[in-house]
């Protein structure tokens, strides 16, 4: 799932919790729940993990992460989140599993190998892949449902 969706879910959860450490860990756990849903980017992730294309995956992750944090800031500035620190802590927690898995992949499995395997296994709990376009629709729908339920 794209970081922007994970961050929005984490922010929506974290905004309702105190202290920010609870928000962070609730966002962290929400990541694994959201990743169970087939979301269409599995094949593209496999294609970009080869050494000659890895730089594109890093660029995509940076853009996605910046977009995620920017969206949370815009939602906060727009009055959507009353607890900005909780929302940001939840958002950061929600994207952290992908950050850790990415660093594990860049280190060729030397960093956090057990976590990376757990993270990957979690994606396959529902062993059904959907095309990227359908996954985009699923992710956008998940995003909209999160925003709707957060109000």
Q: What is the 3-state secondary structure (H, E, C) of 46-69?
A: HHHCCHHHHHHHHHHHHHHHHHHH
What's the total number of domains in the chain? 1
**Tokens 């080869």 -> residue:** 50
Between residues 43 and 92, the one the model is more confident about = 92
Is residue 46 predicted with pLDDT exceeding 80? no
Q: For the whole model, what pTM was predicted?
A: 0.85
Give the number of other CB atoms < 10 A from CB of residue 147.
Answer: 14
pLDDT in tens, 106-130: 888 899 899 988 988 887 788 777 7
Domain hosting residue 93, numbered range: 3-150
What is the reported pLDDT for 52?
66
Is residue 93 predicted with pLDDT exceeding 90? yes
Q: Which of 92, 103, 97, 88 is nearest to 119 (CA)?
A: 97
Between residues 131 and 6, the one the model is more confident about = 6
């Amino acid at each position: 799932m794209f970081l922007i969706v994970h961050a929005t879910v984490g922010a929506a959860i974290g905004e309702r919790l105190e202290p920010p450490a609870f928000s962070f860990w609730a966002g962290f756990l929400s990541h694994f729940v959201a990743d169970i849903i087939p979301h269409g980017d599995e094949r593209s992730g496999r294609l970009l993990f080869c050494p000659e294309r890895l730089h594109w995956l890093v660029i995509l992750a940076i853009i996605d992460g910046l977009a995620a944090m920017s969206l949370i800031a815009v939602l906060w500035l727009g009055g959507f989140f009353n607890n900005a620190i909780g929302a940001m802590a939840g958002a950061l927690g929600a994207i952290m599993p992908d950050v850790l898995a990415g660093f594990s992949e860049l280190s060729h499995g030397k960093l956090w190998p057990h976590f990376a395997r757990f993270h990957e296994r979690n994606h396959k709990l529902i062993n059904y892949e959907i095309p990227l376009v359908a996954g985009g629709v699923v992710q956008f729908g998940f995003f909209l449902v999160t925003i709707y339920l957060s109000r």
